[in-house]
Structure 1
């Protein structure tokens, strides 16, 4: 069952930290089955306007967690957490 991790950037606090995150995060993809599905600025139809959104696809929820919980990603994610307020969700596809 395909799984997605959805990152929604709500508010930037420190752009230099986000720049570090963005320059390093792709290196954490090595060895993980990740497809970048969406990277951009959403246009809110309802609710608050987010600053940005990234959606990553994985073949299974376990593969998604293996990347998200990996030591490599956790080290890089520290920059994301210092740089902005995000919501992050794991969503499983119901179409399979």
Structure 2
């Protein structure tokens, strides 16, 4: 649905509060169509962000897996390599 929302489950270190909040904010922005809500919609918008963030926290706490924890730095390095190759081809 939205490229800016990244997986947050099963990472070492675990997802931070800021990451969960940012994902909730991005989700509500996408659903509402607002980047910044009007004054009339501000209360509902930020209440929805808070509600989504609570659900995200509960979900991440309750999910279980036997898979080993993923390393963020390794995934970031892979994504950079992939982007380097993709954009090198686009510029050729």
TM-score by shorter chain over 0.5: no
Higher relative CO (CA 8 A, sep ≥ 6), structure 1 or 2? 1
Q: TM-score, normalised by structure 1?
A: 0.25
Higher strand proportion: 1
TM-score (norm 2): 0.26
The structure having more radius of gyration, on CA atoms, is 2
More helix by share: 2
